[in-house]
Structure 1
Amino acid sequence: MTAGTLRLAELVEALGGELVGDGATPLQGLASLTSAGPDHIAFVTGAKHAAAMRACRAGALIVPPSLASEAAQQSALIVTTDPYLYYARLSQWWLARQRAQEPATRHPTAYVHPEAQLGEGVHLGAFAVIESGARVGAGSFIGAHTVIGAQAKVGDRCRLAAHVTVGERCELGARCIVHSGSVIGSDGFGFAPEQGRWVKIEQLGRVLIGDDVEIGANCTIDRGALDDTVIEEGVKLDNLVHIAHNVFVGAHTVMAGCAAVAGSTRIGKHCTLAGDAKVIGHLTLADGVHISACSVVTKSILKPGMYTGIFPLDEHSSWEKNAVTLRQLFKLRERVRALERPPEKT
């Protein structure tokens, strides 16, 4: 990752940390320990990477205090208590600097309805569409073939990649990132049965997304049936995540790839859903609940903690009986161990 030549001291001035060594060290990019060269900066999180650090050719390193003395013998340093967090902030700062050199443009094939509103410095890619009454905040990037529906709102300094759809009346806060192929405001899955057929229930709600939310590629967030689907600030969704209608996701919750949440479920703040985890509908997960990969949540979880549940598919009545039995296995084991324990000598 490159953005022109910088001096190491400029990074410290922008992001803090303790500078050790030559602040004039020139840097042209960030790199891993194994690929870094003399014009790169790399980071070391702890002692388990010390061997790789010794072999590294980087011109500068970001290190914890415990490695500062050793690392100072081979390169200039930024010393910080959390090198991984420092690297994350450095990556943002570096990319923002690079993008600041790219002027906002409006491609001639982009369509903006006369009643739409664009803030200052909005970039519109080829064949982007901004429909009637939509508002796009200042400094936002709207990629090629992306559609912002009627009356929708996109906050300041958002970045929507190519082929993103924001449905009518849906709203994104400031500084949101949405990757290619994602759809915000698709219809929720709602149908009423009638004599062996299905009658569509029109989805009349919206999707409301807070500030600093990142949505991966090919995600789907359904609009509410009557009330709104809500994604609070700081939520991070990996690729291929599905959020169904009327779901509420609390602030700073994260979901890994292929996670799915069924309709009308409420997920608290600071939760995690690992890859391919599923939550069925109309449940509540408390703040601080963490679901392991491939687990299926079938009941509300009202206490913070880590939860895991993987169970083979079976005919439903049999599955219910086995599930009840499985929950008793630990108690049964303790009873068997007590029965097998030799009697105490008198």
Structure 2
Amino acid sequence: MTRSDSPTYLLGELAERIGARLIGDAGRRVNGLATLRDAGPDQVAFLANRAYLKDLPATRAAAVLLHPQHGEACPVARLELDNPYLGYAALSRLFDPLASRAPGGVHPSAVVDPSATLGARVDVGANAVIEAGVSLGDDVVIGPGSVVGADTAIGAGTRLHANVTVCHGVIIGQRVILHSGCVIGGDGFGFAHDGARWHKIAQLGGVVLGDDVEVGSCSSIDRGALGDTLIGNDVKIDSQVQIAHNVQIGDHSALAGCVGIAGSTKVGRHCMLGGGVGLSGHLTICDGVQVTGMSLVTNSIHEPGVYSSGTGAMKNTQWRKNAVRFKQLDDIAKRLSRLEKGSDG
């Protein structure tokens, strides 16, 4: 394998890396990925969604990653895999320029407290701040302008992009990715009211992120009021997500953009929350639950499955008529109950 500004691979190498069956020239060299429509003769394309099957006959790619059932329709070399989307994920990491970048060490403008412990090959970007008692594992990357608060521990291979804030006393596992603007360990929303004004409750807990977690840009994970906010292994959190204090999220769950989870709610393993989902506080969501986009969950869920709430978009005139009927539902139910009792008599 040779490297320049962009990594290059032989098709045979790629097939071996992802466990695909190659039909074509194993010695053909490629240097990137692209869509079926946009790929050039030195790039690999992929087909994982039948909606793009129409673009396959005209592709100019060097090779296409696809399911064996579409192999005969492919006009170029092909990499056959039963799960082409999973194979695409593996290829994308191989061609990621960030993955191939050599560590730059500690930038002269970075501020690193003398009591901090830095592992091997740590990269600290310009104007980053590493406070007292921080521990950074091997191959950690701290992006420009990021702040790592006191007594925080960050595991090996974790990457903070530019302008990430990790507050004090946070524990972050290995191979975690934190995108720009996210805040890990800010104060939870805790206040007591005396009848006239609010009094702040100090947030004394922390945040624990497991291994292989990814948090999108401008998302917030609040520290616990007393115990810790807990995010399990392999949890994927999209951008602009709010996770309140003392929430627990089980391993391998995924949260799409603009999800909001109120305090002390527990989400199980292998759960999926669609965009804009809201979970009220102090709920328990069992393993294997999928909540579709824009749903509001106000009660605990104890059985796996797909859950939805709300109504889909419709013409405003129809919605207005339905909104009037919504207000009448209670009266209609009472009248129906009286009618049923009358017929029973």
Q: Which residue of 2 aligns with 1:157?
A: 157
User: Do 1:46 and 1:67's aligned partners in 2 also have CA atoms closer than 8 Å?
Assistant: no
Shift of 1:47: 4.7
Alignment of 1:210-229 (within 5 A): 210-229=210-229
Shift of 1:49: 3.0
Is 1:77 equivalent to 2:83 in the alignment? no
User: Do 1:20 and 1:78's aligned partners in 2 also have CA atoms closer than 8 Å?
Assistant: yes
Is 1:17 equivalent to 2:20 in the alignment? yes
User: Do 2:93 and 2:99's aligned partners in 1 also have CA atoms closer than 8 Å?
Assistant: no
1:83-132 deviations in whole A, cap 9, x for unaligned?
A: 11100111112227x63342333210001111100110011111111110
**Rounded Cα–Cα distance in structure 1 between residues aligned with 2:128 and 2:154:** 14
Is 1:56 equivalent to 2:56 in the alignment? no
Is 1:166 equivalent to 2:169 in the alignment? no
User: Do 2:128 and 2:145's aligned partners in 1 also have CA atoms closer than 8 Å?
Assistant: yes
User: Do 2:103 and 2:122's aligned partners in 1 also have CA atoms closer than 8 Å?
Assistant: no
User: Do 1:234 and 1:253's aligned partners in 2 also have CA atoms closer than 8 Å?
Assistant: yes
Q: Which residue of 1 aligns with 2:93?
A: 92
Alignment of 1:94-113 (within 5 A): 94-95=95-96, 99-113=99-113
**Rounded Cα–Cα distance in structure 2 between residues aligned with 1:325 and 1:137:** 60
**Rounded Cα–Cα distance in structure 1 between residues aligned with 2:66 and 2:95:** 18
**Rounded Cα–Cα distance in structure 2 between residues aligned with 1:322 and 1:9:** 65
Q: Which residue of 2 aligns with 1:32?
A: 35
Shift of 1:281: 0.3
1:198-241 deviations in whole A, cap 9, x for unaligned?
A: 11110000000000000000001000000110000010111000
User: Do 1:46 and 1:64's aligned partners in 2 also have CA atoms closer than 8 Å?
Assistant: no
**Rounded Cα–Cα distance in structure 1 between residues aligned with 2:188 and 2:20:** 47
**Rounded Cα–Cα distance in structure 2 between residues aligned with 1:261 and 1:11:** 40
Shift of 1:6: 2.0
Aligned residue identity for 1:75: V
Report the RMSD for the aligned CA atoms in angstroms: 2.5
Indicate the SS of the match to 1:287: coil
Classify 1:7/1:190 alpha carbon distance in 2 versus 1 (closer, same or farther; 3 Å).
same
**Rounded Cα–Cα distance in structure 1 between residues aligned with 2:280 and 2:7:** 49
Indicate the SS of the match to 2:96: helix
Aligned residue identity for 1:251: D
User: Do 1:23 and 1:76's aligned partners in 2 also have CA atoms closer than 8 Å?
Assistant: no
**Rounded Cα–Cα distance in structure 2 between residues aligned with 1:47 and 1:216:** 28
Q: Which residue of 1 aligns with 2:206?
A: 206
**Rounded Cα–Cα distance in structure 2 between residues aligned with 1:194 and 1:311:** 39
Q: TM-score, normalised by structure 2?
A: 0.88
Indicate the SS of the match to 1:258: coil
1:225-275 deviations in whole A, cap 9, x for unaligned?
A: 001100000101110000000000011111111100000000001111111
Q: Which residue of 2 aligns with 1:317?
A: none
Q: Which residue of 2 aligns with 1:124?
A: 124
User: Do 2:56 and 2:73's aligned partners in 1 also have CA atoms closer than 8 Å?
Assistant: no
Aligned residue identity for 2:249: V
**Rounded Cα–Cα distance in structure 2 between residues aligned with 1:204 and 1:219:** 21
**Rounded Cα–Cα distance in structure 2 between residues aligned with 1:46 and 1:247:** 35
**Rounded Cα–Cα distance in structure 1 between residues aligned with 2:257 and 2:296:** 15
Q: State how many pairs are aligned.
A: 322
Q: Which residue of 1 aligns with 2:318?
A: none
**Rounded Cα–Cα distance in structure 1 between residues aligned with 2:44 and 2:328:** 52
Q: Which residue of 1 aligns with 2:302?
A: 302
User: Do 1:259 and 1:273's aligned partners in 2 also have CA atoms closer than 8 Å?
Assistant: yes
User: Do 1:223 and 1:245's aligned partners in 2 also have CA atoms closer than 8 Å?
Assistant: yes
Q: Which residue of 1 aligns with 2:319?
A: none
Indicate the SS of the match to 1:54: coil
Classify 1:136/1:325 alpha carbon distance in 2 versus 1 (closer, same or farther; 3 Å).
farther
**Rounded Cα–Cα distance in structure 2 between residues aligned with 1:192 and 1:52:** 59
**Rounded Cα–Cα distance in structure 1 between residues aligned with 2:84 and 2:181:** 33
User: Do 1:188 and 1:203's aligned partners in 2 also have CA atoms closer than 8 Å?
Assistant: yes
